[in-house]
Chain A
Amino acid sequence: MRVTVDPDKCCGAGQCVLVAPEVFDQRDEDGIVVLLDAAPPADRHEAVREAAAICPAAAIEVDA
């Protein structure tokens, strides 16, 4: 799985951090998304897909 985030689209809602805290964080200076792991292990795929599905700004893309 490859994960990409678009900080320009991000609105800092933080839902991805709640769902997959090992993969997503928020920047200290403005609360915008930080990708911690662009190739997360299999046991986190479901959470990452969930994060992408509920991201209100469609700022998370998941490949495979």
Chain B
Amino acid sequence: MTTTSAEAPQPLPVQPPPGCPFDPPEGLGRLRLEEPLSRISLPDGSRAWLATRYADVRAILGDRRFSSDTTSPGYPRSGMTGGAPVDGAARGFIRMDPPDHTRLRRMVTRDFMVKRVEALRPTLQRITDELCDAMAATDPAEHPVDLVEALALPLPSLAISLLLGVPYDDHELFQRLTGTLLSREKSEEERRTARAELVAYLDALVRAKRERPGDDILSRLATEQQDAGELGHEDVVAFAALLLIAGHETTANMIGLSALTLMLDPETAGRLRDDPSLIRGATEELLRFHSIIRNGPRRAATEDVEVGGRLIRAGEGVVVAVPAANRDGATFEDPDRLDVCRPNAQHHVAFGYGIHQCLGQALARAELQVVIGTLLRLFPTMRPAVPLDEIPFRTDMAIHGCHALPVTW
């Protein structure tokens, strides 16, 4: 399962260099240059490969010989966040391979397809406007406002709650549990407890949907798909957990970081304000630049596969460094510069690559585009209320971002 050597290799780099919160974790750039496929130590002492070059990352994620199944031999489970590793249906389809992955993903693909998201855009705009109106109405004596709490987290949370049919009134519960699940600093035991609590909540919710279905994804899965024998109750709960967690935390952090980046770069903000047609490309560039996924994706080789001149053997685990791939100068010219007109920005792997690429990417893009456009328009003077080094960045989390973003205007 793992290769042993006399000297334990370094752990996965996770900390940006001091004072440079927008840089990829320190050490990834050197690895990409000197040892693009290197060995790392996982928290339990096991070993895995770490891929840092764009070409290698795409090769690995696009190759079905690399398994996403967390029960595959050699899968690098140690240090995974998002919940203690579980087996069976409860692990959700992102931790499965075809044909199960394909069958389950296709049950919800239509809910996140481009035209469905475009139809939702007016709703996203309305939610954003309401949140922004509430911010604008705050008494200046109460400034600063935390942009994460006021906008970045509620928008995606409200949107995914609406789509899934999760009562938004319960958002404190599911946001707290998601926070525990995605923290690198919580113990496996704490994550297991949080996951159990989330599953218990969703279990009751799915049962209620079966009794009294509404017009939402969970109701459909709990009635149509369950009645047709395509899904069991446990599968529906697993869908709920996966979509709820994936649906708000990631976008929330991209919103916070994007807003902060533009506040610190008035020239770029001005360009986007003057020409909103640039916002779509800017969103891709911000996704590339920030690459918030910091703890994977992860795979296990099911056969011996050569990648970038190194042989990865069957049963060995691989961790992919998205921030390193997205700053690879061989693919992105002047990669450390934020260039909102970069022609190939959409080639980023911020949503992953291969058949597991983010299901909710159209929704995430639309939310980001709506928020960026609205903030630029309504709050042209918004700025951080504290120096950069006082902003609490999420260096303890599997998803990068800001825990809080105090702003004023």
Chain A positions within 8 Å of B, measured between CB atoms, are: 9, 11-15, 17-19, 21, 25-32, 50, 53-54, 56-58
Contact A26 B115 (CB under 8 A): yes
Q: Residue-by-residue, is B34-62 near A (CB-CB < 8 Å gives 1, otherwise 0)?
A: 00000000000000000000000000011
Contact A53 B347 (CB under 8 A): yes
Consensus secondary structure, chain A interface? loop
CA distance A45 to B110 in the complex (A): 27
21 sampled A-B residue pairs with Cβ under 8 A: A11-B102, A12-B110, A14-B112, A17-B114, A17-B115, A18-B114, A18-B346, A18-B362, A18-B365, A26-B113, A26-B114, A27-B110, A28-B110, A29-B110, A30-B110, A31-B109, A31-B113, A31-B116, A56-B351, A56-B352, A57-B357
Contact A12 B359 (CB under 8 A): yes
Chain B positions within 8 Å of A, measured between CB atoms, are: 61-62, 102, 105-106, 109-116, 346-347, 351-359, 361-362, 365
Question: B353 — which chain A residues lie within 8 A by C-beta?
Answer: 56
Residue of B nearest to A29 (CB): B110
Contact B347 A54 (CB under 8 A): yes
Choice from B111, B355, B358, B365 contacting A57 with Cβ under 8 Å: B355
Choice from A19, A32, A56 contacting B357 with Cβ under 8 Å: A56
Contact A13 B357 (CB under 8 A): yes
Contact B106 A31 (CB under 8 A): yes
CA distance A5 to B114 in the complex (A): 18
Residue of B nearest to A58 (CB): B62
5 extra interface residue pairs, beta carbon distance < 8 Å, beyond A11-B355, A56-B61: A11-B102, A18-B362, A26-B113, A56-B351, A56-B355
CA distance A57 to B352 in the complex (A): 11
Contact A56 B62 (CB under 8 A): yes
Consensus secondary structure, chain B interface? helix
Residue of A nearest to B107 (CB): A30
Question: B114 — which chain A residues lie within 8 A by C-beta?
Answer: 14, 17-18, 21, 26
Distance in angstroms from A10 CB to nearest chain B CB is 9
Distance in angstroms from A49 CB to nearest chain B CB is 12
Q: Known contacts being A14-B362, A15-B346, A28-B110, is A56 close to B354, with CB within 8 Å?
A: yes
Question: A21 — which chain B residues lie within 8 A by C-beta?
Answer: 114
CA distance A18 to B281 in the complex (A): 11
CA distance A11 to B68 in the complex (A): 15
Contact A12 B358 (CB under 8 A): no
CA distance A13 to B61 in the complex (A): 14
CA distance A18 to B358 in the complex (A): 15
Contact A13 B106 (CB under 8 A): no
CA distance A13 to B113 in the complex (A): 7
CA distance A18 to B112 in the complex (A): 13
CA distance A53 to B112 in the complex (A): 22
